[in-house]
Every structure is written in structure tokens, then in C-alpha cells.
A and B are shown apart, each in its own frame.
Chain A
Amino acid sequence: MIEVGLNHFLIVSTFLFSLGIYGIITRKNAIMVLMGVELILNSANINFIAFARYGNFGLQGDLIALFVIVLAAAEAAIALAIVLNIYKTLATVNIDEVDSLKD
């Protein structure tokens, strides 16, 4: 059995971060893009908690993660409201079709 160490957590978080960026870039559905953003925020959370645990930095990292969870919820609420509004005005949540503003 190998011991789970800091590196394992960092690999998971980096993987999540990359998946989040990939989702934001490739997905056309606005909801899926927002899910990508949530992945990024949570990958940062994993980092904070892992560093606080294995670096012996005290509780600060865990506290930051709590703050970020709250913020992510607030952001998701606002983002969903905005997407809902887009759906009402344009009847689509495909961000490729939301393109009246461009050069």
C-alpha cells in the first residue's frame, strides 16, 4: 500500500483544474461552462486543504476553502439567474448562438 501524500492531492486538483478549463473552452451549453468554472474553484479548494494539512500551515487553508465554497454558491446562483434570463429572452442556452455583440 502506498501512503496518500501531498502529490496525490495535487495531481487530482490539477486534473480537475484542467478538466474545468477544457469544459469552459469546448462546451457550448452555458450550464456546462458554468460547471467547468465550479470545477476550477473546487480544484483550488483541494489545493488549499491539502497544503494546509501536509504543510502544517494551520487552519488558514481550511478556512479559505469554506469562504470559497460560499462564494462558489453565490456565483452559481447569479450565473443561473443570468442563464435563465438569457433563456427567456433568446430561448437558447447555447453560447454560440448568443452573438449579437461582435466586431
Chain B
Amino acid sequence: MITLILSNLSVNIQAIYPEIILSLTLVALVIFDLIFNKQKKFLPLISIIGLFFAFIFVIPEFGTSRSAFPTSENNSLLSIDSFSAFFKGLIIIASVFVVLFSMSSNEIKSCPDRQGEYYSLMFGMIIGMFFLVSANDLILIYLSIELLSLSSYVLAGFVKTSIRNSEASLKYIIYGSTSSGIMLFGISILYGITGSTNLFEINSVLGFSNVPQITFLISILMIFTGIGFKISIVPFHFWTPDIYEGAPLPITAFLSVASKAAGFAVLIRFIEITFAESLSKSGFWQLIPYVNWQNLLVLFSIITMTFGNFAALWQDNLKRLLAYSSIAHAGYLMLGVAVLSDQGLTAVLIYFSIYLFMNLGAFFIVMLIANKINSENIDDYRGLGYSIPFLSTSLAIFLVSLTGLPPTAGFIGKLYIFFALVDAKMIVVAIIALLNTVVALYYYIRVLKVMFLERTDKHVEIEISPLNFVIILALLAPTLIFGVYFTPLVNIAKNSIQLLGF
């Protein structure tokens, strides 16, 4: 095993250039913070440069399909393929936006001497996600989930003096470590049954020999718990509203987009590689029938989206409302996975790229408004449509897009999910998802109603700096453009569903 890695060391190292660059950026951030601890404004710049170079090395990974760090002749720890490259690209885009958000967040700025810590921990999260999206081995998956989580536990409680932050991080670490502990126990059982932690090896064991059904099912459900926690599907969602409400807003935005993306990537890879039976021309995955993934995932996603949407109806805090809406979106995304076909996977990728922009946008506007009025209560948004028309209109567009109404991009995302469902003859499920969208309409539009239709004497002035203006435009543009001109996005998604080994 060691000789296998050493003999191709340079090839293997080349495969993880983006991760190496991110690690170097992390080190650079720490060192820069130690040496020049007066010049905090360069830290975001260093982060963005690091992310930019990582992105340059991610681009050539599109279209390739190779493995790195072999553990035996045929198996490896990492697979570098279009699928992982797509998610790495998404994660980098989200990270750049979150770094920019952090520069204007009052919460983050309230701890001026700990900025270096903040950005280096954020890179810890990014490295964890990068390994997560290309991991082929359950132990690597567990380690990267922990790397991602440990950094985010600290970041959720970044403002130490804030009660809300401290509480969020305490709840996050209790829920998070429990669920990852359960996942580890599941991995240990699976290791006992199959004798390996490598997804490909487990796949070949499952194909050739009988495994004890119930034990196997329990271990898979335990692993599913750990992944389900990351993507916050019901019943592993209970942390989401509290942590999203308590954590600093840039971190909330990051958790709701990037860490969810990484979670979905690992779920898809886990299902598709571990259970793949044979290749199929029709694009529908042929899975080993130990676990009925389709029914399981459809069940979870319907519960998730229904719960998320209905719970959001009663929320008065906009951050909490967006938390429940992100649970509901996890449900829609899960439906795309549940189709278990190439078309469904394409729909998930399209949905995710659109969800990234609209969700980050919504959180950013909420953050800018919260910076000024120190509140995320919907009641405090009364009449904002008249005093700050630009921000309110942008928020309106993001919320309409989250609902999934044309001509915004959110509509295209939902449309492709529904197409995939109908093509797989899951009409009933599609109708339930459609009805859910109607429920979602109510709570998103309620925010718009409060902002635009209710008058108040209170006048709020918010200065938008040129940088923030550019960020909002950069988030608005894809939300609107992908709604009418989505062919390039669809093509990229179609070319990115190729997993290693297929």
C-alpha cells in the first residue's frame, strides 16, 4: 500500500493540488496574522487569492476521471472526476462570496483581533469539503466530515461574548458529534461485515457474497444519519433552525450552501458507488437491491420538504425562516437524488448551482439589513420597501426565486427536478412536491407583503458600499439570467455527472 503510493507520489500529489493550495493559504493566513497583526484588511485578500489559485487547479479536473492515493491495485482513497470538480467549483464560488460577506458583517467585525482565526478556520472547512466531495473511502469521508464540522463548531460561536453565538456552537457540537459518532459506529459495523472501508471494495463484496441483511441495513442507516445531519433532512434537522439563527450570518450562509453541497456530493457518491450493480444504457442506475434506496429517499424527502415548508409558516425571524426553507430545499434536492438516474443527478446539480446564488443572496441582504437595524424579525421589516428600495427589491427577487416562480432561476431548478420525476414515472411524488411549492409561496410572499404593502413612519437609511453593490449584482445576475438563458448551466451539469468508475 505504501509502495503503491510512493511509486506514483508525484502523480498523486498532482491530484490534490487544489487541496494543497488551500492548506498553504491556511498556513499563510495564520502566519500573516501572527506577524502583521495590525493589518487585518489583507486577510480577506489572501483568502480570495488562495481560493482563486485553487479554482485554477480545479478547472483541469473537469472531464478527467482518475484516482489518487491507491490503497490496493484497483481501489483508491480519492477519485478526481467531473462530479467532484463541479462541487469543488461550487464550494469555491460560495467561499469567495462568504469571504466578501464577512468583510462587511458587523458580527465578524466586532472581533477585530481574531480575524486571522476566522479566515483560517474557514479554510479548514473548505479543505474538509474538498476532500469530502472526492472521498472514496468511508474513513476519509468520516475524517473530512469531522474536519468540516470541527471548524464550523468554532465558527458558529465565533463572537464569544454573544449568547446567541455561544448557544449555537454548544448545540451544534452536541448534535454534530453525536451524529458523527453514530456514523462512525455504522462504519465500524460495515467494516466488520465487508472487511473494508473502501466504497469500491464494499461494492464488490456486496456483488459476490451474501451479507446479513438486518445488520447491513442498520449500518447503512447509521451512516445515512451522519450524512443526513450535514444536509439537514428530517429527522436529522433539529439543529438547523437553532444553529442558523444563532451563528454569525456569513457562517449561516456558508453552512446552508457549501456544507450542504458537500453533504449531497458524498451521499450521491456513497449510493452510486457502493450499490452500483451494472451499467445501464437508459441512464437509470441499477442498484444492488439490499436497500430500497428509491423508497427510502422519496420518503425522507417528502417528509423533509413538507416539514420544512410548514414549519417555516410560523416563523417570525427571517434567519429562522430561511433555515426552515433550506430544510425544504434539501427535500427537493433529495427528490432529484431519489430518482436514481443520470437525469435526476443533472437536475440536482442544476438546482444546486441556482440555489447557491439565490440563498447566498437572501442571506446577504438579511445581513446588510441586520447590520443596520440589529434585528432579523419580520415585523421590523415593515415598510422597508419604501426606505431602502434597492435592497428590498433584491431580497424580493431572491425570495421569489427561492419559491420557484418564473422568470427567476429557481423555477428552472424546480422544473428540471419535476422533469426527472415525471420521466421516472413518479407522478404522485411530483404532485406532492408541487403542492409544497404552493405552501412555500405563502411564507416567502409574507415577507414581501410586510416590506412593500405595510407602511410605517420609521425611516431606515442604509448606505450600500460600492463593494456590496457589486456583490449584490453578482448574485442577482445569475438568479435572473439562469431563469431565461440556462442552456450553458444545463450543459455543464450534464457533463459533470460522470463519477469515477462509471
The residues of A with any CB-CB pair to B shorter than 8 Å are: 13, 17, 20-21, 24, 30, 33-34, 36-37, 40-41, 43-45, 47-48, 50-51, 55, 57, 60-61, 64, 67-68, 71, 74-75, 78-79, 81-83, 85-86, 88-90, 95, 98-103
Q: Chain A interface secondary structure, helix, strand, loop or mixed?
A: helix
The residues of B with any CB-CB pair to A shorter than 8 Å are: 139, 143, 146, 150, 153-154, 157, 160-164, 166-171, 173-174, 177-178, 181-182, 184-185, 187-189, 191-192, 195-197, 241-242, 245-246, 311, 314-315, 320
Number of residue pairs A-B, CB distance < 8 angstroms: 120
Given contacts A74-B150, A102-B242, contact A51 B192 (CB under 8 A): yes
Given contacts A86-B170, A98-B167, contact A37 B191 (CB under 8 A): no
Q: List 10 A-B contacts (CB under 8 A).
A: A51-B191, A51-B192, A67-B143, A78-B150, A82-B153, A82-B170, A85-B166, A98-B170, A100-B163, A101-B241
Name which residue of chain B comes closest to A101, CB basis: B242
In the complex the two chains form, is A86's CB within 8 Å of B181's CB? no
Name which residue of chain B comes closest to A90, CB basis: B163
Taking the closest CB of chain A, its distance from the CB of B76, in whole angstroms, is: 14
Name which residue of chain B comes closest to A80, CB basis: B173
In the complex the two chains form, is A101's CB within 8 Å of B164's CB? yes
Taking the closest CB of chain B, its distance from the CB of A46, in whole angstroms, is: 8
In the complex the two chains form, is B188's CB within 8 Å of A86's CB? no
In the complex the two chains form, is A47's CB within 8 Å of B192's CB? yes
Complex interface: chain B residues within 8 A of A98 (CB): 167, 170-171
Bound-complex Cα distance A5 to B173 (A): 35
Complex interface: chain A residues within 8 A of B185 (CB): 17, 40, 43-44, 47
Taking the closest CB of chain B, its distance from the CB of A48, in whole angstroms, is: 5
Name which residue of chain B comes closest to A39, CB basis: B181
In the complex the two chains form, is B157's CB within 8 Å of A95's CB? no
Name which residue of chain B comes closest to A16, CB basis: B185
Complex interface: chain A residues within 8 A of B167 (CB): 86, 90, 98-101
In the complex the two chains form, is B192's CB within 8 Å of A37's CB? no
B191: which of A40, A61, A81 is its contact (CB, 8 Å)? Answer: A61
Complex interface: chain B residues within 8 A of A13 (CB): 188
Bound-complex Cα distance A73 to B163 (A): 26
Complex interface: chain A residues within 8 A of B188 (CB): 13, 44-45, 47-48, 51
Complex interface: chain A residues within 8 A of B189 (CB): 47
Taking the closest CB of chain B, its distance from the CB of A84, in whole angstroms, is: 10
